[in-house]
Amino acid sequence: MGERHCKAAVAAQAMLKRAESLERMVRLVGESELSAENQSLYKRSKKLRNYMTQNFFVAEAQTGRKGQYVPIASVVSDVEEILAGRYGQIPDDKFLYIAPTCQFCIHGLRETGIVQSPGGVGVMGFLLPKTA
């Protein structure tokens, strides 16, 4: 495990742990009652949790979904981008069973309905900012 991988894993675990502690409050009073910082953390954690629902080969028989191999470098990059809030405007459910996020960001443009736009990359009707 490299340093980048380790940092991403530790940051993801910390975020998920903090979000878990917010879960009870969200169930009682709703997400809108959280502070802006906690709302952001909670939303990112839902995206991260959903992203981790990749199609695993060992679950093909139970889910009926073909397993997908995702290189660890892609997972680390995707986790870093989710943690950084890059996909804030994309609904949480769009992260379910997507394999690498590039599946709906850059690669597979035709299959996922992505179009190029002057301000960034349009994704399923949402606009992502340009990256440097």
Residues 64-121 have pLDDT tens digits of: 888 888 788 888 988 999 999 988 888 888 888 876 666 555 333 334 443 333 344 4
The CATH class of 3-129 is: mainly alpha
For the cut 80, the answer to whether the pLDDT of residue 11 exceeds it is yes
**Contact predicate 26/59, CB 8 Å:** no
**64: burial class by Cβ within 10 Å (0-12, 13-18, 19+)?**
exposed
Whose structure tokens read 């069973």? 97
